[in-house]
Amino acid sequence: MINKRLLIKNLLAHNDESSFYDKKLQINISSKEGKAKFLKHICALSNSNPNNNSYIVIGVEDQYNHITGVDFFDDSKIQNLVNAYLSYPPVIQYENIPFPHLDSDKVVGLVTIRKKETKEVTSLRKNIWKYYIGSVFFREGSMSIPKKIDFQLTDFNSEIVTAIESHAQNNIEYTLDGVFDFMAQREDYDPKYKVFKEYFVMCWSGLKKSIKNQIFYSRVDIALINEQVRLFYSALDAVEISYDKDSFQITEYVNLGLSGENSYFKLEKTTITFGNNATYNIDSEFLFSPPQYDKKALRHIFNANNALIERLKQGAELTSQQKSDLKNAPATYLICYFNGIEAAITQLKSAKNLLFNYSEEAYALYKKSMRILRKVKYN
């Protein structure tokens, strides 16, 4: 089993990006341009590495290989994006890898592009941004460039990638160090661990709270230590955790409502099932059903939100009630959108920089709402 933190270090030891890996400070697949560039690199790496895995490391400053980290990203449907836009799409996996020197809410993103299961060339199956249907990309050094469609797939990198992966294999020392590090870093959040199938080590932590006789956890951190992969992280939401001898289950709830009358709604259930042959599977089930409200009342709230954002834009001083309403604004816009007010999402996105500059809490609540929206759209 590969220790993903060690794998990233080994990849970065090749100071320059190459035809088998790329590094990015960040990616943005919420915009067409960001999606197009991401798909271009996936296409190029897949075509340049038909017989081996290839990688994109995210959260690394390019010039000096300084690891800065990115926000935790947990979209299990990113494969759908690749399948929708690429012909002969590769299997990809996005994982969140914690590093000890990063803040608790930051990770390094690792995208693994699996070796090809077919000898067909990967290409764009539809237009996106400035790239046209049928476009083929290939790696030339550290660049993803267009190629003529009649080029041949060639094995350039399988030997070196196999060596890099073999030097990143996990062992008992790495596993024990990982458990001790997790326990020390999360000592204020009641950390626990459990061994599955005498092989896999899961660590998790969180603040326990009881809501209507049901046990939830907040500020949850869950990691598979063997691979140094963070499976779940949330500073805000309520999470239910359960497990048996073969599996570990996480059910995430989101707190939504209007005028202080909030309820917890199931968002997603993730099940990690461990096999007897040192393998595991992760399955996600989307459970969210948005709350419904009177349309007239929502239109009034939507307009009030817009007026509040405008006051913030003008630099006007806010009352204590307006400050409270501002914290609720991202979730309120989300509810408006789920109830048919399409313009609410445009308003929410336009408020991003204002909320970022206003306070860390307001911006964290914005990111939470955008994460819910992303999951709803993908599902």
Angle at 340 between CA 336 and CA 343, to 5 degrees: 65
Cα gap 234→288, rounded to integer Å: 17
Q: Are residues 183 and 261 in the same domain?
A: yes
Domain that holds residue 223: 172-286
Cβ 313 vs Cβ 305: under 8 Å: no
Q: Are residues 229 and 266 in the same domain?
A: yes
pLDDT of the residue at 18: 86
Phi, psi (degrees; rounded to nearest 5) at 303: -65, -40
pLDDT of the residue at 15: 64
Smallest CA-to-CA distance from 58 within 34, 79, 82 is with 34
Domain with residue 75: its CATH number is: 3.30.950
End-to-end CA distance of the chain: 31
Per DSSP bridges, beta strands 214-224 and 280-286 are unpaired
pLDDT of the residue at 266: 95
For residue 76, the number of C-alpha atoms closer than 13 Å in the C-beta half-sphere is: 14
Q: Are residues 109 and 37 in the same domain?
A: yes
Q: Are residues 32 and 157 in the same domain?
A: yes
Domain end position, chosen among 286, 303, 337: 286
Q: Which residues contact 244 (CB under 8 A, 6 or more apart)?
A: none
Exposed e or buried b for every residue in 249-274, given b needs 16+ CB within 10 A? ebbbbbebbbeeeeebbbbbebbbeb
- Evaluated on CA atoms 192, 197, 201, 202, the torsion sign reads negative
Q: Which residues contact 16 (CB under 8 A, 6 or more apart)?
A: 141, 142
**Residue that has been written with the tokens 């070796």 in this structure:** 115
Exposed e or buried b for every residue in 311-348, given b needs 16+ CB within 10 A? ebeeeeeeeeebeebbbbbbbbbbbbbbbebeebbebb
pLDDT in tens, 104-141: 899 999 999 999 888 899 999 999 999 999 999 999 98
Q: Are residues 77 and 20 in the same domain?
A: yes
Encoded amino acid at 40, one letter: K
Per DSSP bridges, beta strands 21-24 and 54-58 are parallel
pLDDT in tens, 335-357: 999 999 999 999 999 999 999 99
**Secondary structure letter of residue 43 according to DSSP:** H
pLDDT of the residue at 377: 83
Cβ 97 vs Cβ 229: under 8 Å: yes
Q: Are residues 84 and 206 in the same domain?
A: no
Q: Which residues contact 67 (CB under 8 A, 6 or more apart)?
A: 12, 59, 60, 61, 99, 101, 102, 108
Q: Are residues 60 and 147 in the same domain?
A: yes
pTM of the model: 0.92
pLDDT of the residue at 17: 65
Domain end position, chosen among 247, 263, 286: 286
Radius of gyration, alpha carbons of the chain: 22
Q: Are residues 81 and 198 in the same domain?
A: no
Cα gap 129→272, rounded to integer Å: 36
pLDDT of the residue at 148: 77
Domain end position, chosen among 264, 286, 308: 286
Domain count within the chain? 3
Q: Are residues 236 and 270 in the same domain?
A: yes
Q: Are residues 143 and 181 in the same domain?
A: no
pLDDT of the residue at 138: 94
Query: With a cut of 50, which residues of the chain have pLDDT below it?
Result: none
Q: Are residues 238 and 332 in the same domain?
A: no
Q: Are residues 160 and 13 in the same domain?
A: yes
pLDDT of the residue at 149: 66
**Length of the chain in residues, anyone?**
379
Q: How many CB atoms lie within 10 A of CB 131?
A: 18
